[in-house]
Amino acid sequence: MRLCTASSIILWLLVVHKSDEISSPLQPYTIYRYSTELQHNVADLWWTINETQEEITFELHIKTTGWIALGISPAGGMRGADIGLGWVDEGGEVHFQDRYASGTSRPTIDNTTTDWFALSGREQNGWTAIQFKRSLDTCDEMDVSIKSGTNNLIFAYGLEDPDMSRSDGLIFYHENRRGSRIIPLQSYGNPPSEEKFSDLDYFEFKLNNQIVPAVESSYHCKVFKAPTNFSQRRHAIARKTIIEPNNRDLVHHLGLLECNPTAIFDDNNLPDGICDEIIASIFQCFKSVASIWAVGGDEIVEYPEIGGYPVGGDFEIKYYMLQMHYNNPKLIPNRRDSSGVRFYLGKQLRQYELGYLSIGADVSYSAIAIPSGVDRFILDCYCPSEATQNFSEPVITILAACPHTHLQGRSVWTKLIRNKKVVEYLFNAEAYDFNYQFENLLPKPIQLYPGDELATRCIYSTTDKTDITLGGERTKDEMCLHYFLYYPRMKDFSSCLSSISEEAWKKIMNISESTFDDEQLGKWLKRLKWTPELVVEWQRFYNNASRSVQAGDFELINLTKIPEYEDLQPSTCHTNIPNSAMNQN
């Protein structure tokens, strides 16, 4: 399993460490709610959302004296992107343009409506800083709306100002001066100081001078025993991801997983090695997430005052697994790393304990079998009311969401269904990138009740693969999971995972044997030859096949197919068009 590699656990009322990564020597024009470094020592971004006006204010700083641009992209590239582009001329005047990219060529000026508006700008010390705003939804077909969930941001800059003597406002090609990030624009926070926790007890899980393989990408897994020096239960109120300063270019993501409470290990010989090589000894350590971090993520997390992460005493989790993903593209040998994670313990227990709920597909061949060479394959999962009736609490409150697939995943969403009608998205990662996964603060906490239903969809692209992709924990395998951070923590209900039923597989395989297992299924699947006709048939099979649902430790639930439900109605677009205070040419 690859963790929900994320900007660390972002919670309701949570504050997150971000501002110390800012490179710009220029002070922003105002105090913003969110900020992030887009590219080290090159580009920084601040933003605040005005929910009443339904608009967002950005401030972009880039190390150049030419033009700078920020775009909202539907799929992560230039095609279809909605772009705000600006510069400061020699006289100090700010220019700003609303542009649209129909392809990968130079974006054109949007002359239909102007929806990006500059507020302030300056050029100083080799940097250009421009403050600007736009509506969350401009109601313009040439724009991209900023939705609750993940957003694809692109940025670029040039070394010179555009040529305004031309009617098209010629901008010179940015070459490699560009980048992209997937960011939940409505789901960020502001930093606490680590000094706030300096007088607290803590425990940590770290590697010990681990040699990093001289390969481009590697995963290291190490099992740790839970701390035994806390005889009474304690609550962690904050967490720090520890990345060695010299290895920031090396550590791509890390995460701490809870091992199954029934897992048994030799404490004198705990599993430690390349994840795929020791998978047989760590398969019980994919129960749930305890901590996550990824490139561009937040290193310090403070949990909301209402809840804490439990440890010690009679807490059921006795082992954890630290999973490290190293990115070593230069294949540098003999590099060593001691990164890990630290938990700060509060002096008092909090009202609730935090837990994770895993919703989606079982991690098996019977749940996930994706044809090769397809641009879009849909996998639907369902957690029915018969499952959530087993909640041990009358209500649980969802604080944050972490969508998770492996390399082929392109989109993940989960909808809350009540009385066969969709109430809302729990979270919609319409734009998903394995390299930039986020645990996302929900705009507002969402309550789940026994009897509620959850529909999860994962969308994959396998155009870069020539063989079938099956469900599993290895990097080349796939997953479809949505982790939800919630309170109060339930002991017997940590997951609700579905798969294609045994009966459905036997029917399509045309077999009647009483015995049936993943190994037998895997051999059959790997013999399939993918034609366009078979791909269409396969998608139809997945759309209509009966399902088996395993919810927590309870009995298997059988569904004749994914149930039908009344979906959300399209929202009516409305916007407040602001007046510009700056030159928009």
Torsion of CA 109, 110, 111, 114, to 10 degrees: -120
Q: Which of 324-333, 401-410, 523-532 has the highest mean pLDDT?
A: 523-532
Distances (CA, A) of 573 to 48, 67, 145, 150: 21, 31, 10, 20
pLDDT at res. 85: 94
Nearest Cα neighbor of 278 from 222, 336, 328 is 222
- Pick from 326, 108, 372, 129: which is nearest to 219 by CA? 326
Rounded average pLDDT over 325-339: 92
Asked if 445 and 12 touch (Cβ cutoff 8 Å), the reply is: yes
Domains 1-17+189-353 and 355-573 share a fold: yes
Q: Model confidence at 459, in pLDDT bands (50, 70, 90)?
A: very high
What is the secondary structure of 427-485 as a DSSP string?
Answer: EEESS--GGG---EEEEEEEEE-TT-EEEEEEEE--TT-SS-EEBSSSTTSB--EEEEE
| Domain positions in the chain | 1-17+189-353, 19-183, 355-573
Rounded distance, CA 293 to CA 25, Å?
A: 27
Tokens coding 340: 């890990």
DSSP-based helix, strand, coil % in the chain, nearest 5? 10, 40, 50
Angle, in degrees to the nearest 10, between helices 502-509 and 518-526:
40
430: amino acid identity, one letter: E
Number of Cα atoms under 13 Å in the Cβ half of residue 427 = 34
423 phi and psi angles, rounded to 5 deg: -85, -45
Q: What is the pLDDT of residues 378-398, one digit of tens each?
A: 999 999 999 999 999 999 999
Class of domain 1-17+189-353: mainly beta
Per-residue pLDDT band for 191 (boundaries 50, 70, 90) equals low
Q: Residues 6 or more apart from 469 whose CB is under 8 A from it? A: 368, 369, 370, 372, 408, 460, 462, 476, 477, 478
The residue among 378, 369, 241, 336 whose CA lies nearest residue 297 is 241
pLDDT of residue 584: 54
DSSP readout, 97-155?
EEEE-SSSSPPEE--S----EEEEEEEETTEEEEEEEEES----TTS----SS-EEEEE
Which range has highest mean pLDDT (191-195, 318-322, 493-497)?
A: 318-322
* Rounded CA separation 349/236 (Å): 9
Length in residues, the chain: 585
Q: How do 453-460 and 369-370 pair as beta strands?
A: unpaired
The percent of residues above 70 in pLDDT, for the chain, comes to: 88
109 vs 83: CA distance, rounded Å: 9
What's the rounded Cα separation, in Å, for the pair 134 and 114? 9
pLDDT tens profile 337-382: 999 999 999 999 999 999 889 999 998 999 999 999 999 999 999 9
Q: Which residue has the tokens 């520890």?
A: 242
Token output for 65: 């004296």
What does the alpha-carbon distance between residue 392 and residue 480 come to, in Å, rounded to a whole number?
25
Higher-scoring residue by pLDDT: 91, 111? 91
- The CATH number, out of the four listed (2.60.120.230, 1.10.3720.10, 3.90.980.10, 3.40.50.460), of the domain defined by the range 355-573: 2.60.120.230
**Among 303, 324, 438, CA closest to 4:** 438
Contact 226, 253 (CB under 8 A): no
Dist. CA 262–CA 444, nearest whole Å: 35
Structure confidence by residue, pLDDT tens digits, 133-182? 999 888 776 677 887 777 889 999 999 988 766 555 566 666 788 888 87
- Asked whether 455 and 414 are in contact (CB, 8 A), the reply is yes
| 107-113: long-range pairs with CB below 8 Å, 24+ | 107/69, 107/71, 107/78, 107/81, 107/83, 108/168, 109/168, 109/169, 110/140, 110/142, 110/143, 112/140, 112/142, 113/138, 113/140
286-290, 351-355, 454-458, 470-474: range with lowest mean pLDDT: 286-290
Residues 85, 76: Cα–Cα separation, whole Å: 17
Mean residue pLDDT of the chain comes to 87
Under a CB-based contact definition with an 8 Å cutoff, are residues 459 and 411 in contact? yes
Rounded average pLDDT over 472-487 = 87
Q: What average pLDDT does range 332-339 have in this prediction? A: 96
- 522 three-state secondary structure: helix
pLDDT at 558 over 90: yes
439 pLDDT above the threshold of 80: no
Please tell me the distance from the alpha carbon of residue 450 to that of residue 8, in angstroms, as a whole number.
29
463 band by pLDDT with thresholds 50, 70 and 90:
very high
DSSP assignments along 155-196, one per residue: EEE-SS--BTTSTT-B----TT-EEEEEE-TTS---PPPGGG
pLDDT over 90 percentage in the chain? 60
H/E segment holding residue 308 = strand 307-311
Q: CA-CA distance, 69 to 180, in Å (whole number)?
A: 12
With a cut of 60, say whether residue 582 has pLDDT above it: no
* 227-278 pLDDT, tens digit each: 999 999 999 999 999 999 899 889 877 889 999 999 999 999 999 999 989 9
CATH number of 19-183: 2.60.40.1210
Q: Would you state the structure tokens that stand for residue 433, as one six-digit string?
A: 């990138």
Identify the band that residue 108 occupies on the pLDDT scale cut at 50, 70 and 90: confident
Q: Does residue 534 surpass a pLDDT of 60?
A: yes
